[in-house]
Amino acid sequence: MGPPPSLYTHAVGPRSRLISAVAAAAIVLVALAAPARATEYFVAPGGVGNGSGSFPFGRIQDALDAARPGDVITAAPGTYAESLSSVRGGSPDAPITLRAAVARTAIVTRASRILTVSHAYLVVDGLVLDGQYAPDDTVRVTSSGNFLVLRNTEVRRSSRDLIDMAAPVGVLIEGSLLHHALNAAGGRTDAHGIVAGAVRDLTIRDTEIHTFSGDGVQVDPDRAAPGWDRVTIEGSKIWLAPLPGPENGFAAGAVPGENAVDTKAAPTNTRSRITVRDTVASGFRGGFINNMAAFNFKEYVDATVDGVTVFDSEIAFRLRGPATGALVLLRNAVVYNVTTAFRYEDNIQNLRLWNSTVGLNVSRAFQAASAPKATLDVRNLLSIPALSAEASSASNLRANASSFVDASAHDYHLVAASPAVDGGERLDDVTIDRDGLARPQGSGYDVGAYERAPTTARGQAQATGPAGTR
């Protein structure tokens, strides 16, 4: 059987055949070079079609089986009783996108793992992933699930972890809600909001994590080589509260969890870096463990904490050495309604605590634990509790409630008459305040987490948030 006649209409000799062959090859190359047109597949409960708008698939997995790089899968509102797995990856400029037609109305649920991601460049947007407290993670991301984007998605009800990651690169969790990872075995067993291994470039942004029996975010429990690095948590809220009713083996009133953020990193690996900014943590007290802390930074990490608020907790910041352990820079923190604001342990070195505010109902600002040789650099601290030896620098000030706009409501912005206004020292590494306002605003640097400023400047800073968080 010969070639298509259209290519050989005038091919009567060897030269003509050569020219026609070259032309055919050119046509193939042009076809290969032309960009593929993305396909949108539609899914709806009860659908029995081919994925078109008129005849949607009935299962989301059918659309994942069909999707190629650049394709979009749109799931109609309703309940999908299935488990999902990635089949192939997208590309940097053509990810595969799985989205809800209406945010958080497409509910994927069964008593099992709901989503396994083992391919790169997948976007999941606006779904609800409900594991019904199955003995498995709700979402599992393997080391091949690089550059996953989980956006505006609710992940809920696991007896293991809500999101469990191995060692992928470039994962973004954004604008999402993660809640109810609970395991009551043995009285309380770890079930985390997010747990990650040797991840790189993990970002958790504008996300709420609550009601878990482990940590809100934990990296890396196995201390795997080569170590994790460049984890960022920003604009987020992580909290616990007494359970309003019995839940997956826990009694009403139980506070099952441990920490908002917990780090583990082996000294044999490259030092792991984590940044937490513009984030609020609360409710870390009255639980099943001693020394509950919102932030538990330990081992071989380099932690930068900027613009974080902690309240209603036993310990706000638990910072742990020894000399080769955690390096911590903590600035623009606001702490109130806690037993201990800053607990430092194991002779920690290189702990810098700058421009922070310790407000009402704090039993003690500092607590040392096995730390007679610890090295602390505390400057521009504003504290309602009495200043202890750790805060002996002249730039640290004790304040009373009248120094603040409304301390009873835990508004710790400064009033004009506060001695903290222009009372601090210049710190080149503290260029903004808790609201993202540039320092200084007056003739000198203010003490505490907030810089006193004209109302218009303050409003603009609060509207945009701390620099670098958006």
Whether 79 and 200 share a structural domain = no
pLDDT at 25: 47
DSSP secondary structure letter of residue 289 = S
The span from the CA of 205 to the CA of 255, in Å, is 25
Residue 320 lies in a domain: yes
Encode pLDDT of 87-102 as tens digits.
999 999 999 999 999 9
Query: Within a domain: residue 25?
Result: no
pLDDT of residue 96: 98
The answer to whether position 183 is within a domain reads yes
CA distance 129 to 219: 23
Domain end marker among 102, 126, 152 = 152
In a domain, 18, yes or no: no
Task: Say whether both 323 and 439 belong to one domain.
Answer: yes
Going by C-alpha positions, the residue among 154, 157, 172, 69 that lies closest to residue 119 is 69
Chain segment 190-208, per-residue pLDDT in tens: 999 999 999 999 999 999 9
- pTM for the full model? 0.90
Residues 61 and 126 in one domain: yes
pLDDT of residue 323: 79
Clarify whether residues 461 and 367 are in a common domain: yes
The number of distinct structural domains making up the chain is 3
Residue 63, domain member (yes or no): yes
Give the H or E element holding residue 310: strand 301-320
- Where is the domain boundary, 93, 123, 152? 152
β-pairing, 334-345 vs 327-331, is unpaired
**184/222 same-domain check:** yes
Matching residue, tokens 């506060």? 418
Residue 2 lies in a domain: no
C-alpha 234/C-alpha 106 separation (Å) is 27
DSSP state of 247: B
Taking the CB of residue 429, how many other CB atoms lie within 10 A of it? 11
Helices (H), 299-338: none
Which token pair is 58?
Answer: 């009935």
Same domain, 313 and 355: yes
Do 116 and 262 belong together in one domain? no
Say what the pLDDT of residue 30 is. 38
Q: Cβ contacts of residue 365 below 8 Å, gap of 6+?
A: 340, 341, 342, 358, 381, 383, 385, 387, 388, 390, 391
Q: Are residues 302 and 428 in the same domain?
A: yes
State the pLDDT at residue 453.
87
The answer on 134 and 164 residing in a single domain is no
The parent domain of residue 376 ranges over 292-470
Below-50 pLDDT ranges, the chain: 1-35, 467-470
Q: Domain boundary residue among 152, 177, 194?
A: 152
* Residue 61: inside a domain: yes
Rounded Cα–Cα distance for residues 312 and 187 (Å): 23
348: enclosing H helix or E strand: none
Is 277 within a domain? no
Over its C-alpha atoms, the chain yields an Rg (Å, rounded) of 27
Shared domain for 141 and 191, answered yes or no, is: no
- Is the same domain home to 80 and 193? no
180 and 71 belong to one structural domain: no
Q: Other C-beta atoms within 10 Å of 24: how many?
A: 15
Q: Nearest 5°: CA angle at 312, between 137 and 465?
A: 80
pLDDT for residue 463? 61
